[in-house]
């Protein structure tokens, strides 16, 4: 079991990383869609240099993981995600779209979140799946209506 000080450190780390990931991966929304992107793909529009700057920015998440003593396996997966985004971003034109879709900082923050919850022996809060409930209810109501029409 971890101490209250460790728990507080971990919670503060996740809050910082959530803000960082939001700004780098999801800050802007494309109107009339659910698609979001952040500053990282915009910085990546500058050939090679932009991708290198994005890689350096991504090192912040790794630094925070080391600060809370994340396992070597978690850190290696973070590095893998960072390199995938960096190399993918180097591809002309397609790489810019890849940067916007892959979201390495968000992936790495989530990796660290799962690891921290395992260390704290807690379960992360999951939002209630309202949209799933609504769509399943509509589907069942529609099937029930079809069944009624077929029987009449």
User: What's residue 148's pLDDT?
Assistant: 86
pLDDT tens digit string along 72-118?
999 999 999 999 999 999 988 788 889 889 999 999 999 999 999 88
- Whether 99 and 44 have beta carbons less than 8 Å apart is answered as yes
Phi and psi angles of residue 30, each rounded to the nearest 5 degrees, phi first: -75, 125
Tokens of 79: 């590095």
Residue 125 confidence (pLDDT): 62
Q: Tell me what percent of the residues of the chain surpass a pLDDT of 70.
A: 94
Q: Tell me: pLDDT of 1 over 70.
A: no
pTM, two decimal places: 0.75
* SS3 category, 29: strand
């Amino acid at each position: 079991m971890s101490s209250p000080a460790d728990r507080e450190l971990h919670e503060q780390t996740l809050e910082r990383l959530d803000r960082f990931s939001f700004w780098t991966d999801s800050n802007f929304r494309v109107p009339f869609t659910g698609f979001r992107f952040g500053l990282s793909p915009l910085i990546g529009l500058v050939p090679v240099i932009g991708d290198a700057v994005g890689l350096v920015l991504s090192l912040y998440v790794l630094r925070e993981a080391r600060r809370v003593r994340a396992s070597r396996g978690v850190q290696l997966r973070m590095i893998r995600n960072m390199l995938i985004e960096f190399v993918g971003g180097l591809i002309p034109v397609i790489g810019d779209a890849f940067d916007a879709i892959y979201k390495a900082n968000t992936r790495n923050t989530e990796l660290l979140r799962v690891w921290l919850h395992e260390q704290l022996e807690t379960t992360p809060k999951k939002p209630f799946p309202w949209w799933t409930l609504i769509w399943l209810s509509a589907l069942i109501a529609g099937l029930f209506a079809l069944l009624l029409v077929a029987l009449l």
